Structure 1
């Protein structure tokens, strides 16, 4: 089994990306800079960030660079992102072995002023957030705006209610305060810029450290809630213009865009061209966006080979393999690093262990790459499930169990779960040997791929006519005369429920589900589905529909998931019918709100759902059945 933790051990050949970013950071002419390492969930962003951190922390040539690693998700519960970020930087300085005791003492003194600025901003923010400050200000000042130093004074009073603030403002001290406010407003030169002052102080602190540059790595930003993502971005903005600094942010850009829209979408400032404003926000914050490419087929084969090799021979022996791989990757960045490269480096018994587990991998790689979108986390998750089921087959003492068949079926399960379930239904009533799969394989043994796709569709298997599924049917071993019951028995977690307990849901899917699960106008729901759902890849779409279907099973009385499914049906989106029917088949009709029956009547003539609904509600005994069958004039 393999853990899902980020690591600086490069099994992907991603060091080249890290080296490029390090080279940019060490170019003093481009500092200060903010770099966005962008990629989908599980694409390897964290591993690249860890490689960068390790380079700056452990390489003796980088003594003049301070690198701080900041995990945005870890500070999810922190009351203020600016304070959390500053705390991480100051702690990194205090704990740094490169600094003398004298310099650390100087830093502590200088940090007091920074903390005062941060606490002032936090206090001012809390006053503004928790008290009706604009209204109170207008009442006492006749419409005067509150300058930064005025907010500082209010924050220093440390009041926790509007009543106490009004009482304070009504006192002699309050009157003196507003008298000074009037005088200072007349004298524009007296206004201070707290952000500029903070940056000056922070720059002064960095100067005292004698470091040539400060590198702040911010990881897991896309795991945070939308509000926290924005707070972290605003905190980064506070620091970014400080000389000699580089901020490296790892995130799924779709999640960040979603957070910006979530925060500002209902304000007047972002009405109109939302995408342009979101782009402007990101462009001002991120000077260098760097998008990670998806793994190619040779890279997927290499990654799987390296994972299996390390598991089979252990960490110590693997060090030599890993070192050889890094040297190989410098010379050849395009070919797979596999069995042929490993054989001469291992003892015969170790090589046999690796070989027995890797031997079927090359034939599966094209489909693994296509089905799992070259995503390292999905590949590791696939292998973990594969190993777990392999172990289960051994524990259960299943005879004639072929692990190559297991891997082939799992590819269908991961890439097309609805077809996997259909295959389960076929074999369930045919003693494990479905005639349908025999017919499909026979079609695919004849003619070219284009003809095979048409023949599969003409034979009544339209869902199986995709090019990807045709390729899957071609993969050895063939399933003709194979009893599939044992293979589905060990996969029953995926048959019984839409999402297995170990399943990981991409953050972009969670964000979209949470967004659509709010109350909003029909037009807006359809717009969000049209703009965001359709742009997800197949795995993400399946994950979203799984959540939606699972939500109906778990809470059948709640209307929202039904409504989203209905809008998707209207928009004729692919695969919606399968997941919707799956949910409706297993819940009690008495648990469904009868009002839904009325809304479902509009799908009477739907090519798939019309017949399904007519059958489902034909008994006319439940309230929803009566509502669905109610005749209208």
Structure 2
């Protein structure tokens, strides 16, 4: 098994990305700077950030302080600015690079910073939770309390709007309010609190004698939308402080969703497609955006090979393999660093076991890459599930078990668009005692027709096999091992956790997909706005994400079969020519009782009876059961 955590151990060849970013940070002419390390969920952002941290922690970089801040871990803090400053000051206080004398100086200078942070935090909390609602209710002329009222309010020990209003009604309260209004005007004319904070922080860094401060902020995309913005606002507080570099790792689409969410709440975004505010916000905060590429086929095969070596080899032996890989990548960035390349670095005692584990990998890699979109986290989770099932096969004493067969079936299982084919194969083998004739028929067609297009055409001639004619499935059918005449019962028994459900593992659905569906899932949203979102956000998704979106939409439809909006989203995707929308919709309808389908959907299906897969559903399922949807469909 492999831990699903970030690591500074580079198994992806991503050190080249880390080295590039380190090179930028070490260029004093670009400081201060904020760098965005952007990538999809599970793409390896955190590992790159960990590599950067480990490099700056080395002795040769003793003039640089590097701090790792996990925004998600600090989500419980009431104020993101306080959490970030606390992390920085704690690292300074605990840092072995500083003398005790310097640490004492840091503590003294930190008091002023804490005073500023406490003021900002206290003002924000009091104004948000007590002052603004209370004063808005009491003063109808539009006058409201100002942040500098926070200190006075805390002195009054007020804990409710009622008490605040009562206090303001007193002579003392009226006098304080007037004084505070005047104090705010005077202070605004004299100084800027943020500028003061930055100057004080600059003074503190100078006292440490560090040449630069590098702050790494990770896991933003795990936070709630409000917390994401709070963390970004905390970063803005430190912007323009000399000798600083902030490196922020996030999925930019999650961040954009959070910005939309925050500004829409404030009424600054009316249309969800208003991208100017979102773009401006990110461009002002992130000076250098760096987008991580997806893994290629050769990189996926290399990654899987290294993961298996790491699992099978003692730590010292694997260290040799990792050193070989690092050297290999320095001279060749394109080829596979697999078993053939590294076998001489593997001691003979472990060589056969690793070869046995890797034997089926090369043939499956192109399909695994397509299915999991070259995503390191998804590849690791796929392999962890494969390992668990291997162990279950051993515990259950399954004889003649072939890991390659299980891996091939799992590729079909984990493909968002082919999950229904996996279930269909399951049904076939159940009816035929484990050995389905249909898979033999499919493999025979593919074998006799080496040209994929010809194979696709021949498969489409057989009605019950039409769903198996996509280019990806044709490639899957070609890959060894061949499944003809193999009893698949035990392999499906190992996968029974998936057979029991139509939901193919929520962990494989990217967060951006869930957020996008949530944005569209409103009964009051017009067709025009929905189509605009589909055009601007769904159609530009990667193939994996688009298929994930379709699968998630299918899940929601199956879970909520009486909800009209779930059907409407599919209809509008079909109208917008979203690839695979028709077949995903038809497959989802297969799982739904006709009695649960709203009558309005029966009417809507008339528009799509010219699409073969939907026509087949209407003829074979909808029209065979008496239901209100059928009556609506039949109504002229």
Most deviating of 523-532 and 503-512: 523-532
Tell whether the 8 Å contact from 1:184 to 1:191 is kept in structure 2 after alignment.
no
Q: What SS does the aligned partner of 1:535 have? A: coil
Paired with 1:177 and 1:354, the residues of 2 have a C-alpha distance of 77
SS where residue 289 of structure 2 aligns? strand
**Deviation, structure 1 residue 379:** 1.1
Q: In structure 2, what is the Cα distance between the partners aligned to 1:140 and 1:152?
A: 20
Partner of 1:448 in structure 2? 451
Q: Is the 8 A contact 1:7 1:50 kept in 2?
A: yes
Moved more, 286-295 or 580-589: 580-589
Per-residue CA deviations over 1:142-195 (Å, capped at 9, x if unaligned) read 666866645665576564433333344344444444544565577687343111
Q: CA deviation at 1:403?
A: 2.0
**Residue of structure 1 equivalent to 2:501:** 497
Q: CA deviation at 1:614?
A: 6.5
Q: CA deviation at 1:540?
A: 3.2
Q: Report the Cα offset of residue 287 of structure 1.
A: 0.4
Q: Which among 534, 537, 544 is matched to residue 542 of structure 2?
A: 537
Pairwise CA distance, 1:555: 5.5
- Do the aligned residues in 1 keep the contact of 2:567 with 2:601 (CA within 8 Å)? no
Cα deviation for residue 588 of structure 1 reads 6.0
After TM superposition, the structure 1 = structure 2 runs for residues 93-242 of structure 1, keeping only pairs within 5 Å, are 93-131=92-130, 133=132, 136=135, 149=148, 159-180=158-179, 183=182, 190-242=189-241
Write the deviation string for residues 490-511 of structure 1: whole angstroms up to 9, x where unpaired: 2222222133568443221232
Q: How many angstroms apart in 2 are the aligned matches of 1:598 and 1:309?
A: 56
- Looking at structure 2, the residues matched to 612 and 207 of structure 1 have their Cα atoms a distance apart, in angstroms, of 72
TM-score by length of structure 2 reads: 0.89
Residue 514 of structure 1 and its aligned partner are, at CA, apart by 3.2
Name which of 393, 414, 423 aligns with 2:425.
Answer: 423
Question: Secondary structure in 2 aligned to 1:250?
Answer: strand
Deviations 1:177-219 (A, max 9, x none): 4544565577687343111111111111111111111111111
Q: What is the aligned partner in structure 2 of residue 44 from structure 1?
A: 44
Q: 3-state SS of the aligned residue for 2:216?
A: strand
Give the Cα–Cα distance (whole angstroms) in 2 for the partners of residues 291 and 369 of structure 1: 19
Q: Judge which range, 566-575 or 88-97, deviates more.
A: 566-575
Structure-2 separation of matches of 1:260 and 1:551: 26
Stretches of structure 1 that go unaligned for 5 or more consecutive residues are none
Cα deviation code 1:441-492 (max 9, x no counterpart): 2332225233333333344444333322222222122222222222222222
Q: Is the alpha carbon distance of 1:507 and 1:156 closer, same or farther for their aligned partners in structure 2, counting shifts above 3 Å?
A: farther
C-alpha distance after superposition, 1:388-408 (max 9, x if no partner): 222222223333332222222
CA distance in 1, matches of 2:59, 2:94: 18
Aligned partner of 1:603 among 602, 605, 609: 605
Counterpart check, 1:463 vs 2:467: yes
After superposition, what is the alpha-carbon deviation per residue over 1:96-130, rounded to whole angstroms, capped at 9, x for unaligned? 11112222222222222222211221222223323
CA RMSD of aligned residues (A): 3.1
Residue in 2 that maps onto 1:438: 440
Are 2:4 and 1:4 equivalent residues in the alignment? Answer: yes
| Closer/same/farther in 2, CA of residues 555 and 210 from structure 1, 3 Å limit | same
- Separation (CA, whole Å) in 2 of partners of 1:106 and 1:358: 57
**Structure 1 contact 619–625 (Cα < 8 Å) conserved:** no
C-alpha displacement at 1:621, in angstroms? 6.3
**In 2 relative to 1, CA 465–620 (structure 1 residues): closer, same or farther, beyond 3 Å?**
closer
Q: Sort the Cα spacing of 1:93 and 1:508 in 2 relative to 1 into closer, same or farther, 3 A.
A: same
SS in structure 2 at match of 1:532:
helix
Equivalents in 1 of 2:577, 2:436: separation in Å?
30
CA distance in 2, matches of 1:383, 1:339: 17
Name the CA shift for 1:611/1:128 in 2 (closer, same or farther; >3 Å): farther
Range moving further from structure 2, 412-421 or 535-544: 535-544
Measure the CA separation in 2 of the matches of 1:619 and 1:361: 45
Alpha-carbon distance in structure 1 between the residues aligned to 2:275 and 2:9? 37
Name the SS of the counterpart of 1:333 in structure 2: coil
Confirm or deny that 1:475 pairs with 2:479.
yes
Q: Sort the Cα spacing of 1:513 and 1:182 in 2 relative to 1 into closer, same or farther, 3 A.
A: closer
Alpha-carbon shift at residue 224 of structure 1 (Å):
1.0
Structure 1 residues 456 and 7: alpha-carbon distance in aligned structure 2, compared to 1, 3 A threshold = same
Contact 1:6/1:47 (8 A) holds in 2: yes
Matching residue of 1:247: 246
Stretch moving more, 339-348 or 193-202: 339-348
Deviates most, 476-485 or 5-14: 476-485
Q: Secondary structure at the match of 2:539?
A: helix
Equivalence for 1:303: 303
Given the alignment of the two structures, is residue 32 of structure 1 paired with residue 32 of structure 2, yes or no? yes
Change (3 A) 1:394 1:134: closer
Task: Tell me the SS of whatever aligns to 1:69.
Answer: strand
State how far apart, in whole Å, the 2-side matches of 1:221 and 1:42 are: 13
Secondary structure of the 2:502 match is coil
Residue 404 of structure 1 aligns with which residue? 404
2:362 maps to what in 1?
362
- Would the alpha carbon gap of residues 412 and 588 (structure 1) be closer, same or farther in structure 2, given more than 3 Å must change? closer
Q: Which moved more, 1:42-51 or 1:168-177?
A: 168-177
In the alignment, is the contact (CA less than 8 A) between 2:148 and 2:184 conserved in 1? Answer: no
Tell me how far apart the structure 2 counterparts of residues 402 and 173 of structure 1 sit (CA, whole Å).
83
Question: Would you say the 8 A contact 1:68–1:89 is kept in 2?
Answer: yes
- Give the Å deviation of 1:627: 6.7
Deviations 1:519-566 (A, max 9, x none): 542333443344333333344344444444444555656665455445
1:75 is aligned to 2:50: no
TM-score normalised per structure 1: 0.90
Report if the CA contact (8 A) 2:49-2:216 is conserved. yes
Superposed CA offset, 1:356-406 (max 9, x none): 111222222222222221111111112112222222222233333322222
CA contact (8 A) 2:123 2:149 kept: no
